[in-house]
Amino acid sequence: MLIYIILMDISFEKSIIFLAKYAPKSDQDTRKPMIPHDIRVGVYLYEHGYSQDIIVAGVLHDMLEFTEVTEDTIKQNFGNHVAKIVRACTKNRSTENSKEREKDLVQRCINIGVDALVVKAADTLDSFKYYTKTQSEKGLDYCRQNSGFIFELKPKDWDDPIFDELKKFNRTQI
């Protein structure tokens, strides 16, 4: 057990170093500061006892969308499962309609499996918290939309505490 914890800590640290190395120096193309957000997502998943792959994917979930890092680079550094989760959590910019783009992202997470949807839920939960603190109604509307897609599309038998927390937080923001 101790060896697993040490290895998980090393992977977690490696993912944060990777994020810091490749993340954009400016947040002008992101809705919120990327590095703090991505670290908060990873820390949330770490503190709630999720698997190493879920934690690392949480830290890296914005890499394909906002950096020049490729899916293959993530795969080489962190494994195939992490790369698939990160890919699923990346918006398909070829979809013009923003609501359809977000709905497609949630569906792709579901297609990969519960691990990917947990990362998306953690991302949305952190965004809810951020936009609440910054009092961004537009940001909160975006989070409500995304959590709505999660609950609309999520298979009923996918029970995980993060979905309960997201549901509670979503209700407090309506």
Mean pLDDT per 10-residue segment, the chain (174 residues)? 57 94 75 90 95 97 95 98 98 91 97 98 96 92 95 94 90 58
Q: For residue 111, what are the domain limits?
A: 2-22+32-172
Q: pLDDT at position 160, please?
A: 95
Number of domains within the chain:
1
Residue at 141 is within a domain: yes
Residue at 15 is within a domain: yes
CATH number at residue 151: 1.10.3210.10
pTM of the model: 0.92
Helical spans, DSSP H, in the chain: 2-22, 34-47, 52-60, 63-66, 71-78, 80-88, 98-112, 114-133, 137-153, 161-172
Residue at 27 is within a domain: no
Residue at 61 is within a domain: yes
Burial readout 6-19 (b: 16 or more C-beta within 10 A, e: otherwise): eebeebbeebbebb
Q: pLDDT at position 106, please?
A: 98
Q: pLDDT at position 10, please?
A: 87
